[in-house]
């Protein structure tokens, strides 16, 4: 890219494209040659490094009311200008505009395989919707410091065009995308830990290197029946599978679970089961599967009437290094099947 000016396309709404105010919010996508309206700030920030070859504008309502159609029409206009980089917005606190900027950036990256960058205020709904996939630079709420803020967008955009790895979110001014990447710091982790502890001991501020997880808390539902009338299912993430592991459940980082019938079984015969779990010592469970999935005791409770019925299917997966996304999906699928089968409560054994 050295020496060759970068071809930039800008995306703006009707207001920043100087097409009009809220009365023109229904206007459809259109392409204008060169830098128009807010895109002039982008050209100024680019200097000799690049040229705004087209400014593409779209009304806020048009984009918000038919997002798929708007994005596909905008994508065609962007492609026609053959850019190396898309700069969308900045949208500041304008919600419809921000959402459209994020959606167009995501589509352009995916379809045209070119880098994109946009800018928004932290409270713009476009940030939460798109920051995981798109570089969204943090801006103020209004366009009062337009050129300064556009300069940061452009600097990041040029890095992306040159194939340089952007620095940390705080250094470059973009919202963290929630992905991790190994970087080499100036000190060993041990020395960083000592320094952090000394700061903590002295009451000085310190920056933990791992964000607190934002796991949503799931309240346990109340059992509305008595246990004597309830159907109870056994579910485990401890990895019990029939011998031969018919569903091929992974030893680590599982993406699959199995549903195994216990119909007609008053207990589990150790020789018929196996356990691929690589996260704990499975020898005790292999010796006696009831240590993980207590079918024997549950049948006794069923016989004695302490519980209404034992559900005839046991669900099992391997819970070790499993991603949150797969855990949530598998949990939802298992819960769906249990509910459809009329199960009232679950005993979930973990390891």
Partner 1 sequence: MRLELRWSEVRELLAGSATRLVGPRLEVDLDALRAQLAADARLGEIRLDLVHPGERCRIGRVFDVVAPRARLDGEDFPGVLGAVARAGDGRTLALAGVSVVTTDQQMDSIGTLAVIDMAGPTAAMSPFGATHNLVISAWASPGTGRSEYLAAIRLAALKAAVHLARAAREAGPDRVEVFALPPSPRVPAELAHLPRVAYVFQIHSHQRPTGLDEGILYGDPVRRMLPTIVHPNEVLDGAVLRGFMGRSVTTWATQNHPVIRSLYAQHGRTLWFAGVVVTVAQATEPERVRSAFQAAGLVAHALGADGAVFTKIGGGAPHVDMAQAASQCEALGVKTTVLVEDMSTDGSAEGMLLFDLPDVDAMVNVGSSHEPLTLPAMDRVVGADDLVPRLIGEVATTYGAVCGAIEQVGATAVMAEVR
Find out whether 308 and 231 touch, Cβ atoms under 8 Å: yes
Contact footprint for partner 1 (CB under 8 A): 166, 168-169, 176-194, 196-198, 200-202, 206, 208-215, 252-253, 279-281, 283, 320-325
Q: Which is nearer to partner 1, 113 or 212 (CB)?
A: 212
Cβ 349 to partner 1, closest distance in Å? 12
- Among all chains, which residue has been given the structure tokens 């065609």? 76
Q: For the sheet containing 116-120, what is the strand order?
A: 30-33, 50-58, 6-13, 85-88, 116-120, 136-138
Distance, in Å, from the CA atom of 326 to the CA atom of 62, rounded to the nearest integer, reads 36
Cβ 199 to partner 1, closest distance in Å? 8
Q: Tell which residue, 321, 301, 324, 325, has the closest CA to residue 311.
A: 301
Cβ 156 to partner 1, closest distance in Å? 12
Cβ 183 to partner 1, closest distance in Å? 5
Token reading at 228: 């004597």
Q: Which is nearer to partner 1, 283 or 304 (CB)?
A: 283
Cβ 145 to partner 1, closest distance in Å? 25
Q: Which is nearer to partner 1, 204 or 222 (CB)?
A: 204
Token reading at 209: 């290197």
Cβ 322 to partner 1, closest distance in Å? 8
Distance, in Å, from the CA atom of 296 to the CA atom of 113, rounded to the nearest integer, reads 57
Q: Which is nearer to partner 1, 325 or 340 (CB)?
A: 325
Cβ 203 to partner 1, closest distance in Å? 10
Cα 120 to Cα 51, 60, 147, distances in angstroms = 23, 15, 14
Q: Which is nearer to partner 1, 271 or 283 (CB)?
A: 283
Q: Which is nearer to partner 1, 51 or 280 (CB)?
A: 280
Distance, in Å, from the CA atom of 298 to the CA atom of 45, rounded to the nearest integer, reads 70
Tally the residues of the chain. Answer: 351
Sign of the alpha-carbon dihedral angle for 58, 59, 60, 64? negative
Pairing of strands 257-261, 6-13: unpaired
Q: Which is nearer to partner 1, 226 or 253 (CB)?
A: 253
Q: Which is nearer to partner 1, 265 or 326 (CB)?
A: 326
Rg (CA), the chain: 28
Q: Tell which residue, 283, 259, 264, has the closest CA to residue 351.
A: 283
Q: Which is nearer to partner 1, 216 or 305 (CB)?
A: 216
Distance, in Å, from the CA atom of 317 to the CA atom of 125, rounded to the nearest integer, reads 36
Cβ 272 to partner 1, closest distance in Å? 24
Cβ 117 to partner 1, closest distance in Å? 14
The rounded Cα 349 to chain-centroid distance in angstroms is: 28
Distance, in Å, from the CA atom of 67 to the CA atom of 69, rounded to the nearest integer, reads 6
Find out whether 176 and 191 touch, Cβ atoms under 8 Å: no
């Amino acid at each position: 890219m050295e020496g060759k000016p970068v071809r930039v396309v800008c995306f703006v709404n009707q207001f920043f494209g100087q097409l009009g105010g809220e009365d023109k919010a229904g206007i459809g996508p259109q392409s204008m040659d060169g830098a128009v309206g807010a895109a002039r700030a982008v050209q100024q920030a680019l200097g000799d490094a690049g040229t705004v070859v087209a400014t593409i504008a779209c009304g806020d309502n048009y984009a918000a009311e038919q997002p798929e159609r708007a994005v596909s029409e905008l994508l065609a206009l962007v492609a026609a200008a053959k850019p190396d980089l898309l700069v969308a917005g900045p949208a500041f606190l304008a919600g419809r505009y921000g959402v459209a900027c994020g959606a167009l950036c995501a589509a352009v990256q995916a379809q045209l395989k070119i880098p994109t960058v946009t800018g928004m205020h932290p409270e713009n709904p476009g940030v939460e919707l798109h920051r995981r996939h798109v570089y969204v630079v943090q801006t103020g709420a209004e366009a009062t410091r337009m050129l300064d803020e556009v300069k940061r967008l452009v600097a990041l955009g040029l890095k992306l065009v040159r194939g340089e790895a952007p620095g940390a979110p705080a250094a470059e001014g973009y919202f963290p995308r929630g992905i991790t990447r190994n970087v080499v710091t100036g000190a060993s982790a041990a020395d960083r830990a000592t320094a952090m502890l000394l700061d903590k001991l002295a009451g000085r501020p310190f920056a933990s290197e791992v964000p607190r997880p934002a796991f949503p808390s799931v309240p346990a539902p109340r059992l509305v029946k008595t246990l004597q009338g309830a159907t109870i299912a056994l579910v485990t993430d401890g990895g019990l599978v029939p011998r031969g592991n018919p569903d091929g459940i992974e030893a680590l980082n599982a993406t699959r679970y199995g549903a195994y019938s216990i119909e007609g079984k008053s207990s589990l015969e150790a020789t018929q089961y196996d356990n691929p779990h690589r996260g704990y010592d499975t020898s005790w469970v292999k010796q006696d599967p009831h240590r993980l999935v207590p079918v024997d005791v549950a049948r006794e409770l069923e016989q004695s009437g302490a519980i209404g019925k034992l559900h005839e299917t046991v669900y099992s997966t391997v819970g070790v290094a499993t991603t949150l996304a797969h855990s949530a999906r598998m949990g939802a699928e298992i819960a769906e099947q249990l509910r459809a089968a009329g199960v009232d409560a679950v005993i979930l054994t973990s390891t």
